[in-house]
Amino acid sequence: MSRRRPDPSYDPTPDAPLGIPVPTTTAADALALVIAWSRTEPERVGERALIEPRPMVIGRGGPRPEDNGPRVEFAAVRPGRTLARGPLGAPTLSRLHARLWADQEGIEFVRTGKGHVELDGVRVDDGQLGPGSTLLLANELLVVCERRPAQPPDAALARTPEFPFGDTDPSGITGESAMTWRLRDQVRFAAGSAAPLLVLGAPGSGKDLVTRAVHSASAHRDRPYLVLGGATLTRAEVDALQSRDDAPFVVIDEVGDVAPEVQPFLSRLISLVGSQPPPRLRIVATNSAPLNALPHAAAAAPGAAPPTDPVRADLASRFIHLVRVPGLDERRSDVPLLARALLREIAAEQPEVGQRFFDDWSARAHLGAPRLSPALVDRLVRHRWHAHVRELTALLWTAMTTASEGWLDATPEVLAQLDAIPDPGFADPGRLGADAIRDALERAHGKVAQAARLLGLKNRWVLYRVMEKLDIRTQDR
């Protein structure tokens, strides 16, 4: 069969995360495969394997004389330690199911076994995975490609209390990706200080979870947890905080919505807190965008830069610590683990969910593996997220309410919900004609990546797919 380019479900180079400095490895990132779903070994979801430039073998069992290269070995990787769990045991995988190797653009693969291979949901015999692409082997094992540190994260990140691999940690955070472990370390660092904290993250990414994790790990854990809405915050409420003698842990939700006339009083309160003797209240704020990126109330002249807001800038400067909550599009390998955690929470409240959709559900321990189809997990992993965990929760509810058997599947209702939100900010590839593409390729001297930018597309893989559909050839392949 012909080669297929990976389906570009997200930008593999998101903006660099904001936040406090954390210990990180200095080694370059490497391409890795992470287990997203396994029919017979669901406990291995989240394990990763680094892919080398030389040909490697992926398949069932251990090394064999005919391998002619190293085996892909998945392991549970955490800061400071790596636990290898042995060869894959999936019975329907061929012993030499595929050969693959990493190059500068992605992971190349060729099917060598009997079972089929699907790249981004489409059957192929060979192809290339880029970050965010998925590979399904024999309807038995689903892996997602992503970039991971070539060396395990710094052991300084391992100060979270021990908990089972892939499960939710004691603070409520779920995930085994490098981004999630960095978030855990930022939470630990922020919890050890009483300085003002700003938590940034897209809507639905889990900002409330992070603020509660900071509260539970801080010296304020036994003090009241008080949430005030930024949009409705009044000067009277700000003044009342100064007179409280119980030193609460105060969260200003969406601080960017605080009225301009209230912002100076909030800035003053933050300054006063630092000069008060303990016990003193802790000020934490959340927002969906950096404060200096929010529009000013005054209108700018046409074509002019937005006016600066010294009051807002002063408020932003009061926050000493900054934690950024990554979205699901930045930690796609965590999506299956989050789905499992969310379904366990639902089953704990509604026992019939555990009885219908789980293997070995324990109502007392709230443990068990939910039965999710590979098609559903594949679409969730590659989905372009807008409301993140909140959106994932809604999709899982749709899957449960439309399931016909004991498996959660990509039902028509789930697919319609996944496809309901268009990709914002980029041109619609379906509206591109052959003449426009050839003109862009000519201006880009045949370079597909540059032509994709000229056409306003997300990346070159989108353009490759349209070119294949319109039978447009180029030497830049």
Query: What's the sign of the alpha-carbon dihedral 60, 64, 67, 70?
Result: positive
Per residue in 215-262, pLDDT tens? 999 999 999 999 999 989 999 999 999 888 888 999 999 998 899 999
Domains in the chain: boundaries: 29-149, 194-319, 429-469
Contact at 8 Å (CB) between 124 and 118? yes
ω into 279 cis (within 30 of 0): yes
The whole-angstrom separation of Cα 278 and Cα 111 is 65
Portion of the chain with pLDDT greater than 90, in percent: 58
Give the pLDDT confidence score for residue 296 in this predicted structure. Answer: 39
Identity of the amino acid at 386:
H
- Between 46-55, 153-162, 378-387, the lowest mean confidence (pLDDT) is in 153-162
Please name which of 461, 199, 209, 179 lies closest in space to residue 329, comparing C-alpha atoms.
Answer: 179
Please name the residues in contact with 464: beta carbons below 8 A apart, sequence gap of 6 or more. 5, 448
Contact at 8 Å (CB) between 211 and 236? no
Q: Which residue has the tokens 């693959």?
A: 100
Identity of the amino acid at 464:
Y
Helix, strand or coil for residue 363?
Answer: coil
Q: Which CATH superfamily groups domain 194-319?
A: P-loop containing nucleotide triphosphate hydrolases (3.40.50.300)
Strand partners, 359: 369
The length of the chain is 477
Q: How many Å separate Cα 128 from the centre of its chain?
A: 22
DSSP 50-95: E--SS-EEE-BSS--GGG-SPBP--EEEETTEEEE--SB--TTS-T
Contact at 8 Å (CB) between 287 and 325? no
- DSSP class of residue 303 equals T
Crossing angle between the packed helical segments 335-349 and 374-382, to the nearest 10 degrees:
120
Contact at 8 Å (CB) between 357 and 343? yes
**Helices within 328-409 (DSSP H only):** 335-349, 351-357, 374-382, 388-402
The whole-angstrom separation of Cα 33 and Cα 333 is 9
Per residue in 34-79, pLDDT tens? 999 999 999 999 999 999 999 999 999 999 999 999 999 999 999 8
Q: Record the pTM.
A: 0.80
Identity of the amino acid at 57:
V
Domain boundaries 29-149, CATH class: mainly beta
Please name which of 203, 198, 230, 236 lies closest in space to residue 214, comparing C-alpha atoms.
Answer: 198
362 vs 115, 175, 323, 348, 403, CA distance in Å? 34, 22, 35, 9, 21
415 or 11, higher pLDDT: 415
Give the pLDDT confidence score for residue 22 in this predicted structure. Answer: 37
Give the pLDDT confidence score for residue 275 in this predicted structure. Answer: 75
Please name the residues in contact with 42: beta carbons below 8 A apart, sequence gap of 6 or more. 359, 369
Burial (0-12, 13-18, 19+ Cβ within 10 Å), 359: exposed
Q: How many CA atoms lie within 13 A of 345 on its CB side?
A: 13
Give the pLDDT confidence score for residue 360 in this predicted structure. Answer: 83
Grade residue 149 by pLDDT with cuts at 50, 70 and 90: confident
Per residue in 443-459, pLDDT tens? 777 878 777 767 877 66
